[in-house]
Structure 1
């Protein structure tokens, strides 16, 4: 079996065993998947700008015609040299396209397959992990240590410096998606301009709290019953590697805060006065007032119960966490829309 841990990915890809002729790079961090696939593809050919050496294939096309991948992998390059084939992510099954290459690996080309968050029992992941000539590489959201390395690398490349306190502050504001984090750092460095060092005042002025902002969008969508917004927000947070239990916990905290506020309203206080005591960011004042007007204490108590049971379920079965979170959040959003449990 050739399966590695997430923390081993960088080192393993930098010293790729020649016996591995197919590399599956998968995970919820789509930005990191793309970055690692691109780095590996460029390192596997002599000229990454030569379309005969680095071949890009659309995942949907490969899924529709599985033999295309094997045909391309077994094609002999016209001018010799190393070749790499990079297959873009798709929601369609790719096992039929990959199986022939696991049975008879290409001797001429390295095949790199990008994929989303594959469960442990996913057939494509399982097949690649079991094959001696394939490597499966997981990509999860950046930990603080990884973000610190990325910050140091980009700041140094820009010819600037950053102290430890500022670095930790910046890392705490970035989300789990590698490409999003890089864009935020690039924007920060442009803002810093000719200053020789990145300081906390620069960071506070230009870098948005990506993770918290996205979670706020999710929470407000749930209690407003905005299903399309909820769907997009959950997909974004899941792609960035946010744990389902953490996601549900964020919604539970809001439900408890709304319940306490609703009880104050029931006791005779005005909605606006109660919301004023919650010290919310300005953009969330209106959405919280709307939620208090829409949700009764009874409904909020029911929401707290549903969320508590869902969090327990994710702890008991982590593999089902995403499905449990989706079902629970959609149930609450429908409750907000309909006024009755479903």
Structure 2
């Protein structure tokens, strides 16, 4: 078996895989991390990643139609010799036969990096690479707190910056479950703090957004926490700013779906434990979301989701004034229900 533990993947990439390994499968639910690691592995094997003869990119759906192409590309000699990387981007069709053919071939001076999706344990592509001595299967799961802290430190150090411990702790709780989005936020913070030497808590609060949130969080949190007065105030503000009522309802619907998924996944846990496992939740929202999780049961959330879905449909069919009436009344109805559950 050549499956690699998720905690060992970063170290393996830093050291460099055994050059005798021809195929590296990078897969998992964190698409940003999958891309970042696949890119690092693909580029590290060639002297010039910008050379199209040394770095060949193929879409997985293309290989599904022509399984023999992967072996052909791996056996092609570069225009000026040297090593080559074939980077296979994830597709919607099954291209495991192309990878299977490559595992049976003799490949020299070439590395195949396969960017997979969220593959189940029984997925043919994952099974092939885990069982073959010529391949490695590298899982990419959302960063835990320790991995996020390491990512923050390394990324800021590359920019000549340090970060205060309290600032790092708050930053880590504000980052989401996608490595690409997390890196974007850290790099934005580094740009803001350039020349300071150390990133402070004030810098974090000034720059870092809620990766998983939106400008509508105040309105949505007020509704699901049972604060009708705040719902009326915030709704008037957003309407005055010209926001589409279906956009406001859509944000509320996504939040309700996330609340339901969190309640179902955290069965038997307290509201505070469920909040602690909610990646990407901004630290300023935690107490309000904890209140929501404590008040809303899964059946009640399913009912709220149905109300919101019906309201979104009604808004799309109505004129602007009537659409706003549908949206505001639905959010106030949710707030009333939440208050009743206090």
- Same structural fold, with TM-score higher than 0.5 when normalized by the shorter chain: yes
CA contact (8 A) 1:45 1:84 kept: yes
Q: Which residue of 1 aligns with 2:4?
A: 4
CA RMSD in angstroms comes to: 3.8
CA contact (8 A) 1:24 1:128 kept: yes
Separation of aligned partners in 1, 2:207 and 2:292: 27
Once the two structures are TM-superposed, the CA of residue 246 in structure 1 deviates from its matched residue by 5.2
Once the two structures are TM-superposed, the CA of residue 161 in structure 1 deviates from its matched residue by 2.1
Q: Which residue of 2 aligns with 1:172?
A: 173
Q: Which deviates more, 169-178 or 246-255?
A: 246-255
Separation of aligned partners in 2, 1:6 and 1:288: 45
Q: Provide closer, same or farther for how the CA distance between residues 15 and 213 of structure 1 changes in structure 2, counting only shifts above 3 A.
A: same
Separation of aligned partners in 1, 2:192 and 2:67: 47
Once the two structures are TM-superposed, the CA of residue 21 in structure 1 deviates from its matched residue by 0.4
1:175-200 CA distances to partner (integer Å, 9 max, x unpaired)?
12111111101211222244332111
1:121 aligns with 2:122: yes
Q: Provide closer, same or farther for how the CA distance between residues 121 and 243 of structure 1 changes in structure 2, counting only shifts above 3 A.
A: farther
Q: Which deviates more, 99-108 or 123-132?
A: 99-108
1:290 aligns with 2:291: no
1:78-115 CA distances to partner (integer Å, 9 max, x unpaired)?
32111110011112211111110112242231100001
Report the TM-score, using the length of structure 2 for normalisation.
0.66
Q: Provide closer, same or farther for how the CA distance between residues 294 and 159 of structure 1 changes in structure 2, counting only shifts above 3 A.
A: closer
What are the residue-to-residue correspondences of 1:55-66 with 2, within 5 Å? 55-66=56-67
What are the residue-to-residue correspondences of 1:151-230 with 2, within 5 Å? 151-211=152-212
1:245 aligns with 2:285: no
Once the two structures are TM-superposed, the CA of residue 69 in structure 1 deviates from its matched residue by 1.4
Q: Which residue of 2 aligns with 1:257?
A: 295
Q: How many pairs were matched up?
A: 263
Q: Which residue of 2 aligns with 1:138?
A: 139
Q: Which deviates more, 192-201 or 91-100?
A: 192-201
Once the two structures are TM-superposed, the CA of residue 54 in structure 1 deviates from its matched residue by 1.1
CA contact (8 A) 2:263 2:293 kept: no
Separation of aligned partners in 1, 2:266 and 2:157: 33
Q: Which residue of 2 aligns with 1:16?
A: 17
CA contact (8 A) 1:6 1:138 kept: yes
Separation of aligned partners in 1, 2:293 and 2:153: 39
Q: Which deviates more, 12-21 or 28-37?
A: 12-21
1:82 aligns with 2:83: yes
Q: Which residue of 2 aligns with 1:340?
A: none
Unaligned runs of 5+ in 2: 225-244, 276-288, 301-325
Q: Which deviates more, 82-91 or 157-166?
A: 157-166
Separation of aligned partners in 1, 2:250 and 2:106: 44
Separation of aligned partners in 2, 1:56 and 1:244: 40
Q: Which residue of 1 aligns with 2:111?
A: 110
Separation of aligned partners in 2, 1:291 and 1:96: 51
Aligned with 1:49: secondary structure? coil
Once the two structures are TM-superposed, the CA of residue 68 in structure 1 deviates from its matched residue by 1.7
Once the two structures are TM-superposed, the CA of residue 158 in structure 1 deviates from its matched residue by 2.1
Report the TM-score, using the length of structure 1 for normalisation.
0.66
Aligned with 2:138: secondary structure? strand
Separation of aligned partners in 2, 1:24 and 1:144: 25
Separation of aligned partners in 2, 1:160 and 1:294: 45
Aligned with 1:77: secondary structure? coil
Unaligned runs of 5+ in 1: 263-285, 302-342
CA contact (8 A) 1:95 1:124 kept: yes
CA contact (8 A) 2:46 2:55 kept: yes
Separation of aligned partners in 1, 2:328 and 2:135: 50
CA contact (8 A) 1:23 1:137 kept: yes
